[in-house]
C-alpha cells in the first residue's frame, strides 16, 4: 500500500504570510544596529548568523556543511547556522531585524525577500551576482528578485510548474503531446476513465496556496499577467476577455476530466492521485517524481513532462515560477556585509549549488547554467533518468517564467495572494456551478486590485 506523504513545505502558511506582511507594513525602518548587536564594527572576529527555511534534515545539512566549508576560507569569520520553520519565519525574521540581531544571511523564498526588502532590512547583492557572472544566472530567476534597478537576493534554485503525464496511457491511446487547449481537452477526455479509476486531468483548487498556483498557469498560458512585465502597470484586467477565457478553460477541463473532489485538493491529494495511477495528467512542480521514487518506483518510467500549451498552437506558452530559494544579505556594516557576501559567493560554485539542488532532484532546478552543466548535477541518477524532461523545461519554460504578483519584479503581493483565499474561494464556487467564470474573475480582480492598491 502506498503511504500518504507529508505535505511539501516549500512555501508558507496563509497565517504566517499574513502576519509577516502586517508586521512589515506596520513597522518603521529597522534600527541602525548590526545583526551582531553593535552599531559600529570594532574590527574583531565576526560570527555570521545564517538562517534557512529548509528544515528537512537532508537539505539543511548540505547547506550547513557548505557554509562551514566556505567560511573557513575567511580570516576571523565563523558562522552560526539555524533552520527556521516557515510557520514562524516571518515574525521571527521581522522581530530579529528590528531588534538589531537579524540574520546576516537568509536562505528563503522570494516572498521572504519581498518582505525583507519592503522593511529595509537587506542590501542589494548585484556585486555578488556580477562577481559570479550575471550571464550564468537564468534571467527569470534574477527578474523575480529585482526591484528599482537592483537585485535583492542571489538565486539558488526554483520550482517549475509543468504538466506531468502518463506516457504509457498516452501511447495506449495513440495521443500526442497537446499543443493547444482544444488538443489538451480532447486528450483529457480520451484518457478519462472514471469507471476504471483514472481521470484525464486532475485540476486541484485548494483555497490556500494551490488554487493560485493552478490558476496562474492558465492565465500565463493565455498571456495574462498581474502586472505588465515591462511597464509594471496593473494588467490582470487589461484584456478581460483573455482572462475569462483562461478561467473558463480551466473550469471546462475540471468538469470534463477531473475528480469532482479535486476542487478542494491540496498538494498531497493530487500528487498522491497521480503517483497511485489515478490521474493521467496534472500540473505539478516535479514533486511527483520524488514521491514516485519513494512510493511507486514502477511509475517513474511512465512519467513525462510538457508545457501547458496556449489556446492555439501558435501561442507561445508561459509558465509560473512556483517558488524559489534565494540568499539575501542582512543590513549591518560594510565589513560584516562583505563577509556574508563572500560566503554566499563561495556557495555559488557550480558543484556546491548542484549538490544543494540534488537534495530535491527534478523538483528543484538550479539557477545557474554552470550548476546545470556540472558533473555533480548531471550525474544524479534521478536527473539522468529525467534528463530529456529537465532539458525541455530549461530550454522552453525557464525563459518565460513569472511569479504571480512579481511579473515586474519583487513585490509583496505574491505573499498576499497566497495568504488569502479569494482566488480559491471563487474558483471553487465556479467549479461547483454557483457562479460563472466571468463572475469568478471579476471578484478575483476586484480583490487583487484592492491588495495591489490599484484604483
| pTM, two decimal places | 0.87
Question: Of 111, 52, 118, which Cα lies nearest the Cα of 85?
Answer: 52
With bands split at pLDDT 50, 70 and 90, how would you rate the model's confidence at 22?
low
When the pLDDT of each residue in the chain is averaged and rounded to a whole number, the result is: 90
With bands split at pLDDT 50, 70 and 90, how would you rate the model's confidence at 402?
confident
Task: Determine the pLDDT at residue 267.
Answer: 93
pLDDT digits (tens, 9 = 90+) for 273-332: 999 999 999 999 989 999 999 999 999 999 999 999 999 999 887 877 777 899 999 999
Q: Which residues pair with 47 in a beta bridge?
A: 78
Length of the chain in residues, anyone? 455
pLDDT digits (tens, 9 = 90+) for 182-232: 999 999 999 999 999 999 999 999 998 899 999 999 999 999 999 999 999
Q: What are the grid coordinates assigned to 4, written together?
A: 500518504
Q: What share of the chain is helix, strand, coil (3-state, %, to 5)?
A: 50, 15, 35
Sign, CA torsion 270/276/278/279: positive
**What letter would DSSP give residue 324?**
E
Q: Give the H/E segment covering residue 443.
A: helix 437-451
Task: Determine the pLDDT at residue 20.
Answer: 54
With bands split at pLDDT 50, 70 and 90, how would you rate the model's confidence at 2?
very low
pLDDT digits (tens, 9 = 90+) for 223-236: 999 999 999 999 99
Q: Please tell me the distance from the alpha carbon of residue 325 to that of residue 348, in angstroms, as a whole number.
A: 13
pLDDT digits (tens, 9 = 90+) for 111-123: 899 999 999 999 9
Q: How many CA atoms lie within 13 A of 365 on its CB side?
A: 28
pLDDT digits (tens, 9 = 90+) for 65-118: 999 999 999 999 999 999 998 778 888 999 999 999 999 999 998 889 999 999
Beta strands 162-166 and 303-306 are: antiparallel
With bands split at pLDDT 50, 70 and 90, how would you rate the model's confidence at 31?
very low
Task: Determine the pLDDT at residue 63.
Answer: 97
What's the rounded mean pLDDT across residues 370-378?
97
Amino acid at each position: 500500500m502506498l503511504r500518504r506523504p507529508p505535505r511539501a513545505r516549500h512555501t508558507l502558511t496563509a497565517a504566517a504570510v499574513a502576519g509577516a506582511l502586517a508586521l512589515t507594513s506596520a513597522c518603521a525602518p529597522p534600527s541602525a544596529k548590526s545583526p551582531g548587536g553593535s552599531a559600529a564594527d570594532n574590527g574583531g572576529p565576526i560570527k555570521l548568523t545564517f538562517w534557512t527555511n529548509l528544515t528537512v534534515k537532508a537539505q539543511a545539512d548540505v547547506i550547513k556543511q557548505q557554509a562551514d566549508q566556505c567560511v573557513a576560507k575567511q580570516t576571523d569569520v565563523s558562522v552560526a547556522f539555524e533552520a527556521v520553520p516557515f510557520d514562524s519565519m516571518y515574525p521571527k525574521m521581522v522581530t530579529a531585524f528590528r531588534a538589531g540581531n537579524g540574520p546576516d544571511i537568509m536562505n528563503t523564498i522570494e516572498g521572504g525577500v519581498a518582505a525583507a526588502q519592503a522593511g529595509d532590512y537587506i542590501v542589494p547583492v548585484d556585486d555578488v551576482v556580477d562577481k559570479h557572472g550575471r550571464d550564468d544566472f537564468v534571467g527569470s530567476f534574477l527578474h523575480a528578485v529585482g526591484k528599482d534597478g537592483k537585485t535583492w537576493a542571489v538565486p539558488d534554485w526554483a520550482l517549475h510548474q509543468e504538466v506531468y503525464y502518463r506516457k504509457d496511457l498516452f501511447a495506449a491511446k495513440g495521443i500526442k503531446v497537446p499543443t493547444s487547449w482544444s488538443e489538451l481537452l480532447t486528450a483529457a477526455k480520451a484518457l478519462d476513465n472514471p469507471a476504471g479509476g483514472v481521470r484525464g486531468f486532475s485540476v486541484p483548487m485548494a483555497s490556500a496556496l494551490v488554487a493560485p498556483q493552478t490558476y496562474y498557469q492558465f492565465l500565463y498560458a493565455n498571456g495574462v499577467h498581474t502586472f505588465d512585465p515591462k511597464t509594471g502597470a496593473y494588467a490582470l484586467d487589461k484584456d478581460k476577455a483573455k482572462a475569462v477565457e483562461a478561467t473558463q478553460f480551466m473550469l471546462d477541463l475540471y468538469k470534463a476530466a477531473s475528480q469532482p473532489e479535486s476542487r478542494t485538493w491540496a498538494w498531497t491529494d493530487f500528487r498522491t492521485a497521480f503517483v497511485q495511477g489515478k490521474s493521467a495528467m496534472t500540473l505539478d512542480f516535479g514533486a511527483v517524481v520524488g514521491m514516485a521514487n519513494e512510493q511507486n518506483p514502477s511509475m517513474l518510467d511512465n512519467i513525462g513532462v510538457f508545457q501547458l500549451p496556449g489556446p492555439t498552437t501558435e501561442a507561445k506558452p508561459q509558465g509560473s515560477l512556483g517558488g524559489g530559494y534565494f540568499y539575501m544579505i542582512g543590513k549591518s556594516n560594510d565589513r560584516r556585509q562583505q563577509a556574508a557576501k563572500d560566503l554566499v559567493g563561495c556557495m555559488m560554485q557550480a558543484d556546491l549549488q548542484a549538490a544543494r539542488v540534488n537534495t530535491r532532484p527534478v523538483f528543484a532546478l538550479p539557477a545557474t547554467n554552470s550548476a546545470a552543466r556540472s558533473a555533480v548535477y548531471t550525474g544524479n541518477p534521478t536527473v539522468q533518468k529525467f534528463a530529456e524532461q529537465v532539458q525541455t523545461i530549461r530550454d522552453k519554460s525557464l525563459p518565460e517564467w513569472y511569479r504571480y504578483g512579481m511579473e515586474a519584479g519583487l513585490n509583496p503581493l505574491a505573499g498576499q495572494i497566497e495568504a488569502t483565499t479569494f482566488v480559491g474561494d471563487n474558483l471553487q464556487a465556479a467549479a461547483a456551478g454557483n457562479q460563472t467564470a466571468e463572475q469568478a474573475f471579476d471578484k478575483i480582480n476586484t480583490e487583487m486590485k484592492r491588495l495591489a492598491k490599484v484604483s
